[in-house]
Structure 1
Amino acid sequence: MRKIVVLVGFLMSIVIGTAQEKSNSQDFDDNYVHTVFFWMKDPTNEAANKKFEVSLRKFLDHSKYAKTQFIGRPPKASREVVDDSFTYSLVLSFESAAAQELYQKEEAHLLFIEESQELWDRVIVYDAMGI
């Protein structure tokens, strides 16, 4: 569990940096952060990974609620506290918990799940509200 917390903190710092660097993206909103880890059924299957990535990007391009977004793959772990067992990570920010609830029900999100759920073996979600 500690490994995941460290990883989430690291990914959030990347998202903040990435959001600040991209002039065409909105500012990172720390009101509500939604972090998702995916473990693919066959992480070495490039065709399945490509299908997942295309579906995920299509979904995010059409999401009405996610303010900032980061899609990542784990680097090779360099320290014992780093969990690199997942295949993909997704970090999104929202203006509020209410916006995140609307995102859960939006057509683009539901279509992504329908298109891609057969590809993953496990999904874990960590949501956090800014303090």
Structure 2
Amino acid sequence: MKTRRKFLGSLPLLGVGLALSNPIKAKPEKSIMIHQVFFWLKNPEKDLKSVKKGCQKLAKIKFVKKAFIGVPAPTANRPVVDHSFHISLTIHFESLDDHDFYQKNDDHLKFVERHEHKWEKVSVFDIHV
């Protein structure tokens, strides 16, 4: 009985030890390239819909693994949060080569040509994960 209590009493320590020895992996199995684009439009009421449609076409380009199109979230205003953009596009690629293919793709080049006069500012963040 004493041995059983001792064993049961040590289980929480065993669990903590196992948790510490097996850290959570935040990194995906494969490395990926993330391409994030934020658009500030000159006339968002007029142009948001067409730019969004254009982004949806970009999401279908070969080598695009995932794509997300969004607008600012209704999160609290804080000094570090920028809600000033009108629309964003986030694309995942499996490699830098896939990203480079996308940049030269005719559909991407047509998107820029069709819509660049609509934006006041564009910021791009390319991230290797």
TM-score by length of 1: 0.70
Q: Cα distance 1:30–1:121, how it changes in 2: closer, same or farther (>3 A)?
A: farther
1:70 aligns with 2:71: no
Match of 2:41 in 1: 40
1:117 aligns with 2:116: yes
Match of 1:31 in 2: 32
Structure 1 residues not aligned, in runs of 5+ = 1-28
Match of 1:100 in 2: 99
Pair member with larger Rg:
2
Q: Tell me by how many angstroms 1:30 deviates.
A: 4.8
Structure 2 residues not aligned, in runs of 5+ = 1-29
Once residues 94 and 87 of structure 1 are traced to their aligned partners in structure 2, the CA distance between those partners, rounded to angstroms, is 24
Structure 1 runs (4+) greater than 4 angstroms displaced: none
Q: Tell me by how many angstroms 1:59 deviates.
A: 2.7
| 1:53-98 Cα shifts (integer Å, max 9, x gaps) | 122212322x012110000000234041211011111111101011
Q: Count the aligned residue pairs.
A: 99
Counterpart residue type for residue 55 of structure 2? L
Counterpart residue type for residue 74 of structure 2? K
Cα root mean square deviation, aligned: 1.5
TM-score by length of 2: 0.71
Once residues 37 and 70 of structure 1 are traced to their aligned partners in structure 2, the CA distance between those partners, rounded to angstroms, is 12
1:88 aligns with 2:87: yes
